[in-house]
């Protein structure tokens, strides 16, 4: 699921399309609200960003996994998530899927998340143990080319396993990074960018344009139009 820039809610001869889009919008609203409430609950309980990774994982994305049913767009629908929580001292990144957060530190790209791909040893072991397989193209059961996501309920039907051990899981990896004076900006983007450019190339692209006085919105649009049109990201300048 990528960020939507334009949508057609009704096609002639296909009356269910509008209803499907309405369900998709509602599904996205539910997930967005639950993630927002999750972040607020952590901050309210502990007063600030907590550095304990185990604690963050305890209240992880599993809390917002929704079961399949009439209110969801379909059991094959899903999305990645890369959530960044930042104050003036540190940044906490929780990632599930192949979206990526990259910090620019004095011009150098610092990856703050791990791309979850089926061919990685840890991911492949979980997939196989759950009854699935990874084909030669690196796809789960010949389908998804990522190994963690919200939704995608067709990969989460092993009733003998908890959600975190299913072929596709929403369990995030969490990284806490202490901020430094040389930190300049943060880029969060989907695989549409990272399949075309590496982290350093994206940092160089963004940094050069920020120096020219371009806005984050304009830079995001330029990336979108220049690289496959699949960019779904946020560029956040320091403070």
Q: What pLDDT, in 10s, does the model give residues 103-130?
A: 999 999 999 999 999 999 999 999 999 9
In this prediction, residue 9 carries a pLDDT of 47
Q: Are strands 183-189 and 78-79 parallel, antiparallel or unpaired?
A: unpaired
Residue at 103 is within a domain: yes
Residue at 149 is within a domain: yes
The total domain count for the chain is 1
Q: Which residue has the tokens 């997939």?
A: 127
Residue at 152 is within a domain: yes
The secondary structure of residue 98, as a DSSP letter, is S
More confident residue, 88 or 233: 88
pLDDT higher than 50, residue 195: yes
pLDDT higher than 70, residue 77: yes
Mean pLDDT of 197-222: 91
Domain that holds residue 178: 16-237
More confident residue, 123 or 67: 123
Percentage of residues in the chain having pLDDT higher than 70 = 64
Residue at 54 is within a domain: yes
In this prediction, residue 41 carries a pLDDT of 62
Mean pLDDT of 75-97: 85
Residue at 1 is within a domain: no
Q: What is the pLDDT of residues 152-164, one digit of tens each?
A: 888 988 989 988 8
What is the pLDDT of the chain when averaged over all its residues? 77
What CATH number has the domain bearing residue 224?
3.60.40.10
Q: Are the C-beta atoms of 187 and 177 separated by less than 8 Å?
A: no
pLDDT higher than 80, residue 35: no
Query: Buried (b) or exposed (e) across 202-223, using 16+ Cβ within 10 A?
Result: bbebbbebbeeeeebeebbeeb
In whole angstroms, what separates CA 54 from the centre of its chain? 20
In this prediction, residue 113 carries a pLDDT of 94
* Residue ranges in the chain assigned as alpha helix (H): 16-46, 53-58, 121-129, 191-194, 199-211, 216-226
In this prediction, residue 2 carries a pLDDT of 43
């Amino acid at each position: 699921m990528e960020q939507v820039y334009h949508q057609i809610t009704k096609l002639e001869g296909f009356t269910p399309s509008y209803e499907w889009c309405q369900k998709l919008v509602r599904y996205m609203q539910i997930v967005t609200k639950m993630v927002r409430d999750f972040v607020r609950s952590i901050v309210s309980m502990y007063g600030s960003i907590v550095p304990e990774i185990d604690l963050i994982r305890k209240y992880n994305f599993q809390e917002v996994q929704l079961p399949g049913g009439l209110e969801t767009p379909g059991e094959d629908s899903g999305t990645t998530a890369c959530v960044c929580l930042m104050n003036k001292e540190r940044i906490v990144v929780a990632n599930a899927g192949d979206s990526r957060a990259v910090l620019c530190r004095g011009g150098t790209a610092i990856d703050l998340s791990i791309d979850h791909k089926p061919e990685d040893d840890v991911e492949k072991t979980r997939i196989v143990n759950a009854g699935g397989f990874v084909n030669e193209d690196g796809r789960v059961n010949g389908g998804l080319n990522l190994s963690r996501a919200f939704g995608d309920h067709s990969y989460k039907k092993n009733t003998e396993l908890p959600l975190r051990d299913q072929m596709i899981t929403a369990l995030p990896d969490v990284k806490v990074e202490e901020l430094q004076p040389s930190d300049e900006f943060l880029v969060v983007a989907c695989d549409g960018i990272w399949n075309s450019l590496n982290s350093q190339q994206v940092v160089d692209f963004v940094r050069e344009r920020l120096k020219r006085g371009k806005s984050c919105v304009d830079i995001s649009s330029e990336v979108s139009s220049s690289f496959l049109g699949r960019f779904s990201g946020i560029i956040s300048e320091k403070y």
